[in-house]
Amino acid sequence: MTTIQTVPVALGERSYDVRIGPGLIADAGAHLAPLLKRPRVAIVTDETVAALHLPALTAALAAAGIEAAALALPAGEATKSWAELGRTVEWLIAQKVERGDLIVALGGGVIGDLAGFAAAILRRGVRFAQLPTTLLAQVDSSVGGKTGINSPQGKNLIGAFHQPSVVLADIDVLASLPERDFRAGYGEVAKYGLLGDAAFFAWLEENGPRLRDDRAALQHAVAHSVAMKADIVARDETEQGDRALLNLGHTFGHALESATGYSARLLHGEGVAIGCTLAFDLSARMGLSPQEDPSRVAAHFAAMGLPSRLADIPGDLLGADALIALMGQDKKVVEGRLRMILARGIGQAFVTDRVDMVALRAVLGG
């Protein structure tokens, strides 16, 4: 039998629980009521998620005597914009959301990031709850308090750290995810094994292919990923050090997403899968990690139906130098130096600004 698992995120007075399991949306009233000063919430969601899950959430809240108003934004990355942020904040003000109220973010990473940022800046900070509805949001973006929107000049360049008051990761909702979105979210699950837990990576090699059909295994994968993230965030909330490990594969991945125009050619988690393989390629070429690791990583992503090589991206891609230039625009550039996450082996990632540019060009096919 599956039960609800609770992973605490230990951040002093900003501590909160991540609850993971089935039926959490159906039981949202009981989970949210203790946080409310009055029986009322404002829900921010997107049109796709609203059609699938909003009636269940509002019914669950109503059953607990909690009134809910909802704003459904267009689905998709383009919603993480100044325009939609402004619209959301103005809607929250029009709903008379007060400082003591709770905003509920119901959706994937886009909604969680935008609604969290709106909560951070409304009345200098209102509390919010994350109800993540994608695998990617459950294992990564809903936990840890990174909120924000995109600038025309780059992803996530505008934002704030604002921790949620609770995260309810209902694994039942993952059944409604399109196959490709589920797989892309899995890229972030595998990332945890690769960055810090070789035994978890080995477990995923064995169990990854059945996660979609095995709820207990899926819950274990989500809970283990969240526990690893909670541990890192508790050590380094604002990314002064270790938290950067969570960006394994992301400097490559963001450059590839930018090179493909943030389009359906490459989803974020797919870019992360290719980026993780490239990070292990680069680590092996620099003599840091075993030579067999890159093919083991690539084989696992391929077994999961994920791209793992640059050649897996459909259409023509930019050359090595253009990709390196895009990598240089990443937020992780410090004093002009590229900072990357490399590895001494599976489960042993580390942060470095000593990147061998010849080896980097070579792994990018240059």
Of 21 and 148, nearer to ligand GLY (C-beta) is 148
Of 71 and 226, nearer to ligand GLY (C-beta) is 226
Q: Is 268 in the site for ligand GLY (CB under 6 A)?
A: no
Does residue 268 carry a catalytic annotation? yes
Rounded distance between C-alpha atoms, residue 131 and residue 138, angstroms:
8
Q: Is 155 in the site for ligand GLY (CB under 6 A)?
A: no
Closest CA to 117 of 145, 98, 154: 145
Closest CA to 32 of 169, 171, 213, 167: 167
How many residues bind ligand GLY, per CB under 6 A?
A: 5
Q: Is 18 in the site for ligand GLY (CB under 6 A)?
A: no
Buried b or exposed e, range 119-135, using 16+ CB within 10 angstroms: bbebeeebbbbbbbbbb
Q: Is 254 in the site for ligand GLY (CB under 6 A)?
A: no
Q: Is 7 in the site for ligand GLY (CB under 6 A)?
A: no
- Kindly state the helix (H) or strand (E) to which residue 207 belongs, with its residue range: helix 198-207
Residue 281 near residue 317 (C-beta atoms within 8 A): no
Residues 129-148 that bind ligand GLY (CB under 6 A): 140, 144, 146
- Using CB atoms within 10 Å of the CB of residue 50, give its burial: 0 to 12 exposed, 13 to 18 middle, 19+ buried: buried
Q: Is 243 in the site for ligand GLY (CB under 6 A)?
A: yes
Among 110, 246, 310, 323, binds ligand GLY (CB under 6 A): 246
Q: Is 113 in the site for ligand GLY (CB under 6 A)?
A: no
Does residue 243 carry a catalytic annotation? yes
The one catalytic residue in 19, 84, 183, 188 is 188
Of 29 and 109, nearer to ligand GLY (C-beta) is 109
> Rg of the chain's alpha carbons, rounded to an integer?
20
CA dihedral for 101, 105, 111, 113, sign (positive or negative): positive
3 state SS of 249: coil
Of 161 and 203, nearer to ligand GLY (C-beta) is 161
- Write out the catalytic residue numbers: 124, 146, 188, 229, 239, 243, 247, 250, 254, 268
Residues at the site binding ligand GLY, with contacts judged by CB under 6 A: 140, 144, 146, 243, 246
